[in-house]
């Protein structure tokens, strides 16, 4: 069973950039143009909710910057690099933006990975060293940090770094650097020397800061502010500012003005532009123009403002349950019944979506207490026109004066499935030409809880 998730792997970063399947290529282009405009140190916060694709966005920027630096070894093949460079060049021309003017050394720092460290400085220095060692293709393995720095100094012809080199020992994991009285001057010297002949600017992407322990997040910000204020360094924080404010208040108190405090650390705050969710959803085979099922899925995720991570979970659950039946012309359980087709095409995307989005709303919906998700999604628009015609009895038409509306018919269907008592000899309830049988609710819930023959067949198809 394949996992549908937009993880920031090399393959996903490359493919989504080439296809522009999340609609953010133009944002990448504009952001890099912004970096090119800086002559001195800057600190930028890219703000977005959790699951909004922040990591993916900065990883794609890191990819483009690295590929445009001829001294920087990347994991991409020669042909892949050429495709990216050509695509980026075409994009710049279309947007009337200058192509990359400077050489950048991109460093990616996952703050959450170092959350248990005593001092963020050591892990930042380590990440820079590690990136240089990996990306500039030093072949020596199993060496300590002193040897790595010596190799960097020799390879890049750096000077004036002896003190820094001798202060870093593998045995104490860089802790000696923190004991140095002139730590700031040593770090400045280190940062000044690295870019010579290799890059005009070092861009350090600080990711996952909002997930760190509050004390570590605050300490990292303050240490960067104090020790890494260098004109050749640009910091890019991809974070959820609201969550980061909560971290600051945990350290300094609830009454503390956390937003103003963060202004000390960020020269610019940029809301991450929303990804093109419909474009991404279509790229994973949900075509809203050809299937009622896909149209309901699109409308659901738009209404509930699904982020990229939400969409990945939603799509995976659908592919594991009703996707194949919905796209193959019928339900394996009862292919000829319009009522079951309505349930398959229109209800299962809503039930699965609510389960992913909000368990309380899901429980209210399936237990007959709240039909509003169904009404809000289907009471108007073009989706499901065939089903609405089938809901009319002979002689009925949709007319607000007679109180026969889409909303009234949807509520009848909803009540027939989730609220009708079938224990008094009733087995079928009819709304127009649609029949709802006693076991319809059980059928629906068996599908979405994965314990059904139909769901099992979906897993097997996905495996193949």
Residue 5 has pLDDT above 80, yes or no: no
Residue 196 has pLDDT above 80, yes or no: no
Classify strands 42-47 and 268-271 as parallel, antiparallel or unpaired. Answer: parallel
* Domain range list for the chain: 10-138+182-271, 277-463
Classify strands 201-207 and 104-110 as parallel, antiparallel or unpaired. Answer: parallel
Residue 463 has pLDDT above 50, yes or no: no
Closest CA relative to residue 352, chosen from 379, 385, 390, 326:
326
pTM exceeds 0.75: no
For residues 390-416, average pLDDT: 84
Give the CATH fold of the 10-138+182-271 domain.
Rossmann fold (3.40.50)
Residue 158 has pLDDT above 60, yes or no: no
Residue 164 has pLDDT above 60, yes or no: no
Higher confidence at residue 338 or residue 3? 338
Euclidean distance between CA atoms 61 and 106, whole angstroms: 9
Averaged pLDDT score across all residues of the chain = 80
Closest CA relative to residue 11, chosen from 70, 77, 72:
77
Strand partners, 46: 238, 270
Q: Which band of pLDDT confidence, cut at 50, 70 and 90, is reported for residue 373?
A: very high
3-state secondary structure of 268: strand
Q: Which band of pLDDT confidence, cut at 50, 70 and 90, is reported for residue 275?
A: confident
Averaging pLDDT over each range in 33-37, 391-395, 419-423, 440-444, which range is the top one? Answer: 33-37
Q: Which of 42-51, 367-376, 395-404, 411-420 has the lowest mean pLDDT?
A: 395-404
User: What is the predicted pLDDT for the residue at 330?
Assistant: 47
Euclidean distance between CA atoms 278 and 185, whole angstroms: 50
Residue 109 has pLDDT above 70, yes or no: yes
User: Could you report the per-residue pLDDT of 305-343, keeping only the tens digit for each?
Assistant: 888 888 888 888 888 888 887 877 544 344 347 888 888
Averaging pLDDT over each range in 70-79, 91-100, 127-136, 278-287, which range is the top one? Answer: 91-100
For residues 141-162, average pLDDT: 44
| Burial state string for 425-439 with b = 16 or more CB within 10 A and e = fewer than 16 | eeeebebbebbbbee
Q: Which band of pLDDT confidence, cut at 50, 70 and 90, is reported for residue 157?
A: very low
The contacts of residue 183 (CB under 8 Å, 6+ apart) are 121, 177, 227
User: What is the predicted pLDDT for the residue at 329?
Assistant: 57
Residue 464 has pLDDT above 80, yes or no: no
User: Could you report the per-residue pLDDT of 41-75, keeping only the tens digit for each?
Assistant: 899 999 988 778 889 999 999 999 999 988 777 88
For residues 111-128, average pLDDT: 81
């Amino acid at each position: 069973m394949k996992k549908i998730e937009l993880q920031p792997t090399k393959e996903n970063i490359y493919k989504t950039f080439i296809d522009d399947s999340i609609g953010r290529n133009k944002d990448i282009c504009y952001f890099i143009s912004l970096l090119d405009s800086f002559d001195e140190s800057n600190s930028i916060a890219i703000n977005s909710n959790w699951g909004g694709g922040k990591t993916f966005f900065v990883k794609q920027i890191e990819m483009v910057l690295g590929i445009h630096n001829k001294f920087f070894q990347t994991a991409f093949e020669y042909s892949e690099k050429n495709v990216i460079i050509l695509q980026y060049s075409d994009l710049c021309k279309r947007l009337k933006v200058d192509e990359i003017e400077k050489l950048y050394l991109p460093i990616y720092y996952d703050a959450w990975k170092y959350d248990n460290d005593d001092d963020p400085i050591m892990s930042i220095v380590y990440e820079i060293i590690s990136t240089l060692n990996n990306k500039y293709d030093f072949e020596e393995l199993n060496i300590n940090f002193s040897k790595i720095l010596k190799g960097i100094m020799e390879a890049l012809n750096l000077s004036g770094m002896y003190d820094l080199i001798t202060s870093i020992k593998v045995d104490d994991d860089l802790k000696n650097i923190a004991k140095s009285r002139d730590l700031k001057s040593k770090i400045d010297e280190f940062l000044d020397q690295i870019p010579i002949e290799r890059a005009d600017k070092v861009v350090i992407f600080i990711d996952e800061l909002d997930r760190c322990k509050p004390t570590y997040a605050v300490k990292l910000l303050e240490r960067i502010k104090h020790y890494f204020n260098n004109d050749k360094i640009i910091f890019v924080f991809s974070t959820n500012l609201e969550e980061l404010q909560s971290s600051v208040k945990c350290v300094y108190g609830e009454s503390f003005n956390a937003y103003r405090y963060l202004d000390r650390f960020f020269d610019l705050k940029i809301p991450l532009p929303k990804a093109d969710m419909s474009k991404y959803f279509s790229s994973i085979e949900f075509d809203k123009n050809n299937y009622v099922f896909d149209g309901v899925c699109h409308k659901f995720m738009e209404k509930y403002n699904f982020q990229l991570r939400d969409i990945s979970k939603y799509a995976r659950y659908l592919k594991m349950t009703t996707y194949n039946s919905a796209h193959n012309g019928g339900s394996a359980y009862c292919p000829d019944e319009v009522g079951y087709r309505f349930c398959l095409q229109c209800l299962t995307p809503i039930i699965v979506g609510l389960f992913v989005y909000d368990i309380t709303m899901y429980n209210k919906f399936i237990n007959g207490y709240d039909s509003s998700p169904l009404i809000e999604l289907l009471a108007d628009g073009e989706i499901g026109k065939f089903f609405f015609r089938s809901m009319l009895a002979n002689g009925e038409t949709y007319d607000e004066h007679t109180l026969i509306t889409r909303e009234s018919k949807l509520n009848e269907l909803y009540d027939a499935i989730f609220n009708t008592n079938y224990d008094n000899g009733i087995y079928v309830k009819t709304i127009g030409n649609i029949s709802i049988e006693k076991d319809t609710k059980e059928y629906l819930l068996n599908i979405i809880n994965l314990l059904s023959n139909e769901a099992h067949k979906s897993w097997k198809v996905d495996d193949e």
